[in-house]
Structure 1
């Protein structure tokens, strides 16, 4: 059969379209993998989204996919991600493949087994292209990344987000059909926002954490990151569900998330998060885009109302008070054994967090409970909440690494932006970032849709309805 796609345009397809095209014989899985490998070779030297490219492994897996299709093996070809070339944040264990955690301290770490997320993706027919770059130990703020500084494909010199930097950049540059990052306080949604992608943080316990190197046990979560909402639903459905290797995972049945995307949100009640939508320091283009998203949702039949959650204003400080102290505890052995292997910014942050008094962490934990109660109250009145994913578009790298000049500078750069995404992991609730427009000078803007525990299906239904009413997700970065 003659393909209607050239090898160059295969990489611009969604994961769903890629899988459908392989099944229909439009092109082979080997064609798809080769198309991505050529593009990685051509442009990733500048973008630096990959740490490890699994060239031979990917081509071998693609050959197996093509052979299964030739044989008519329904058990293999029915996988939700059949033939889809994917990449994984290098925080997830991969059997026989380096898992660096973006750190010199893990330069020789080659796991003996896959993380559960990785094994489930493979079982669904996905092909692992490689391991993606990240901030050291998934913390953010790395001063001298050992595997290079990832650049935002929308504008060189700007960050693609942290800590799943490579996951966002690879999607924006079309260097994989879909990816999985990790989101502790916004590390999946933030890069999705900065890179014009879809990034979902699930309900705490929805996805197994077995084989994920921890940053903060209380809030770590795998994050499906994709080009479209449909792809996000497929990846989420694939990796969700109880795992005996992670006894914290929920035993709730996994819905057919893809089947819930009917585009109908008539009568849905959506809350506009007052504190996060009206912050005085927000970029004006982000405010404009968020209001436009709400207007579109209202035009699709949703009922929009104002919702106040006062503690979201300090959610960033609450988050850091919990996550950083937990992270310092988790890295105590490494800090004692080989601190020189860590980036200077990581080392300083861990040392500082280890000095936080117990009473401060205790207050942060109490504030977390109160914040969750505010969310629970809100979701008794509305189905979903909407806010910006970040208060400003992707900043320049040098703006992130510049020395702090004042207490207000610390508040702005360290706490303010974390309130937008940090509030949901503090509450243990799901949220997705979706493409919501662009600034006047062409940088992506993400808008966040959040819901009550295990409301991922409702979140994705609203996100899909908005996606289908707009064309932001179809815009391509200039690479």
Structure 2
């Protein structure tokens, strides 16, 4: 057991489960350590909407009893691990707010499949995490407070899984699950020095997840380490009869694939996302260094062009926003005053997009996927920054647009970096890749062909083993 029980919160999910099984501390010790830390600092971080205090303590007591009995539950990959989920996932008997006043009374009767599978793996639900309203991003006045980046107050932890990224960086849960439609899991991971995986579309059930865009929504494991990400993905992935869109492909042993060996792996440097003149200089330097590290580990690094990635942000908005507007049409007609002004404006604007524009975006999406398919015939993974710059200040996100170029820079440019993979229905991860000169995290993005999560995790683990970025703690 750590010398101080409060140090439990700094353990990985893997180490937490191992410590509980070994009798070094109990599941109740772990839950109490997290509850004390939430009580101490989350009033400032604002990562949680609901803390499931009594439920978590009850589940921890049950886990401790199971360990004493030698119950089969002890073998669960996440046994006794305190986790939290984005408040977009249904939880039986617990508020699922979707970050909106419009859902203030939404108490589901059943758990989302992701939540149910986390519990089956032995995890303990600590609570529901803050998010941008309706998982869209850009909320001007979040009803449950504006989440802060633990690395620097006043800066965003990312959108829309903002609480999921902030809670990890502040060590307010051992692992979390966000949701990634166009980068909402990877972006916060990048800004908060965490690991965030967007899986292949259909790899994880979406049953019980409030939709943003049916074509691209995906649950996103968000963790402190690559090993933890492999464990969470393995626990929640797989076919679900409640979601007929889920793939019937067998779920590999992702954790067992983490051998640290990438000798001969073909790594593509995605030129359109690595050579932009608008990229932050420190981000460029970090990605260049990361590629050198991968090459030093035995990978073959080559330049690869995927031309339409430069337009991915615009293509993404043309599809996701119009789909989102359609999904929220009833809410906009019934109670628009319950929505944040920025959310309302974005939905109203998207509802006016002509059908021919959305149709062109859908055609462009097909072309982009073909370009990615061609790229992955030449390389095993593609590498780029997760975001072209570090976490901006909150006021930079909510400032008025001043010109068409300002819109391009702030609304479309950054979305191209993460939006390209969901458009192609392909997996990608963000892992800690360095820091700016003034101490803000930089995310390294690694993408691969459909259902190649194992390859992504193997490359990520090798890089993590060769660096220490993931070991650094935010100053909270």
Q: Report TM bin, short chain.
A: over 0.9
In 1, Cα distance between equivalents of 2:339 and 2:70 = 50
Mapped pair 1:271 → 2:268: yes
Q: 5+ residue gaps in structure 2?
A: none
Q: What is the aligned counterpart of 1:117 among 114, 119, 140?
A: 114
2:60 corresponds to: 62
In 1, Cα distance between equivalents of 2:369 and 2:313 = 14
Deviations 1:223-282 (A, max 9, x none): 000000000000000000000000000000000000000000000000000000000100
Q: Which runs of 4+ in 1 moved over 3 A?
A: none
Query: Where do 1:281-300 residues align within 5 Å?
Result: 281-300=278-297
How far is the alpha carbon of 1:448 from its aligned partner? 0.1
Q: What is the aligned counterpart of 1:222 among 216, 219, 223?
A: 219
1:236 corresponds to: 233
Q: Over the residues paired in the alignment, what is the CA RMSD in angstroms? A: 0.4
2:360 corresponds to: 363
User: Does the 8 Å contact 1:89/1:167 carry over to 2?
Assistant: yes
Mapped pair 1:148 → 2:145: yes
How far is the alpha carbon of 1:6 from its aligned partner? 1.6
1:38 corresponds to: 36
In 2, Cα distance between equivalents of 1:232 and 1:453 = 18
User: Does the 8 Å contact 2:12/2:228 carry over to 1?
Assistant: yes
In 2, Cα distance between equivalents of 1:7 and 1:335 = 48
Q: What is the aligned counterpart of 1:18 among 13, 16, 19?
A: 16
1:461 corresponds to: 458
1:409 corresponds to: 406
* Matched residue count: 476
SS in 1 for 2:25: coil
SS in 2 for 1:9: helix
Q: 5+ residue gaps in structure 1?
A: none
Mapped pair 1:344 → 2:328: no
In 1, Cα distance between equivalents of 2:475 and 2:165 = 15
In 2, Cα distance between equivalents of 1:10 and 1:236 = 23
In 2, Cα distance between equivalents of 1:207 and 1:423 = 19
2:326 corresponds to: 329
Query: Where do 1:380-395 residues align within 5 Å?
Result: 380-395=377-392
SS in 2 for 1:129: strand
Q: What is the aligned counterpart of 1:77 among 74, 77, 94?
A: 74
Q: What is the aligned counterpart of 2:84 among 87, 92, 114?
A: 87
User: Does the 8 Å contact 1:188/1:223 carry over to 2?
Assistant: yes
Deviations 1:342-385 (A, max 9, x none): 00000000000000000000000000000000000000000000
User: Does the 8 Å contact 2:2/2:8 carry over to 1?
Assistant: no
User: Does the 8 Å contact 1:5/1:26 carry over to 2?
Assistant: no
2:133 corresponds to: 136
Mapped pair 1:446 → 2:417: no
User: Does the 8 Å contact 1:5/1:27 carry over to 2?
Assistant: no
Give TM-score, length-normalised by structure 2: 1.00
User: Does the 8 Å contact 1:241/1:251 carry over to 2?
Assistant: yes
How far is the alpha carbon of 1:8 from its aligned partner? 1.5
SS in 2 for 1:353: helix
2:160 corresponds to: 163
How far is the alpha carbon of 1:5 from its aligned partner? 4.0
